[in-house]
Amino acid sequence: MPCVTIRFAGLSTRRASRPALNSSSTRFPERTTPSPACLPAIPFWPIARLCDFARSSCTVAISELADIVVADPYPSDLDFWQSLKGLNTACSALRPGGTVIFAAPCTEGVCSSHPEIAAIGFRHPAGHIENLVATGRLCPIPAAAIWLGARMLERAHVILVTKGVSTAEATAMGLEYASDPAAALAHALRRHGAGARINVLHKAAKMICSVAGKV
């Protein structure tokens, strides 16, 4: 039987160096965020600079897109609404049509503050979501999450491994449910074959995956 190739990715414990806030390159006089007296003022950084800082802090190099990605969304795993951050990263490390095995506790379920996420799910095209917002039937905030989830499911087959979301809820959102990671992996290998390439992402919600140096 051909061997399954598994590649692990994770953030280094070494923190990326951040420019000193009092240096001339990072000071933006006259504009600071309101801060408690016990905290230093935080400068407003231009969006481009913030993106550069995020890339330098969070980028994880992977050698290739995989057939299967196994990922967890820690620390954004309280509910599925939070966990979408990690799922988005997992999909970015996946070949189109691949399978994500997504292990997320989701101890508070799908999203108690936005139950429409579970009710509507991620099966609808962008035009339908836009129409729901335009007619006042869907708030723009959960609409953004629903739109993102729908785009991810266009790329990936997602198997959700969790105790916090029911089989019915997962199915309604367009996901497959598995009771444990071993069962999910067995199903994914049946889909892609024993020679499937696998990426494993630990703490995926804190990552930006880059293939061959490209974010």
Alpha helix segments (H runs only) across 60-139: 80-92, 116-120, 126-134
Which pTM does this prediction carry?
A: 0.77
- The pLDDT tens digits of the residues spanning 51-73 come to 888 888 888 989 999 999 999 99
In a domain, 164, yes or no: yes
* Lowest-pLDDT range of 33-37, 64-68, 78-82, 103-107: 33-37
Query: What pairs with residue 211 in β-bridges?
Result: 62, 214
In a domain, 183, yes or no: yes
In a domain, 71, yes or no: yes
* Lowest-pLDDT range of 10-14, 89-93, 139-143, 176-180: 10-14
Residue 186: CATH number of its domain: 3.90.226.30
**Whole-number pLDDT of residue 213:** 52
Contact 177, 158 (CB under 8 A): no
Q: How many independent structural domains does the chain possess? A: 1
CA 42/CA 39 separation, integer angstroms: 9
In a domain, 169, yes or no: yes
β-pairing, 176-178 vs 59-62, is unpaired
In a domain, 176, yes or no: yes
In a domain, 197, yes or no: yes
Q: Is the pLDDT of residue 31 over 60?
A: no
In a domain, 17, yes or no: no
In a domain, 120, yes or no: yes
Range of the domain at 64: 5-9+48-211
Query: What pairs with residue 67 in β-bridges?
Result: none
- The pLDDT tens digits of the residues spanning 150-165 come to 999 999 999 999 999 9
β-pairing, 197-201 vs 208-211, is unpaired
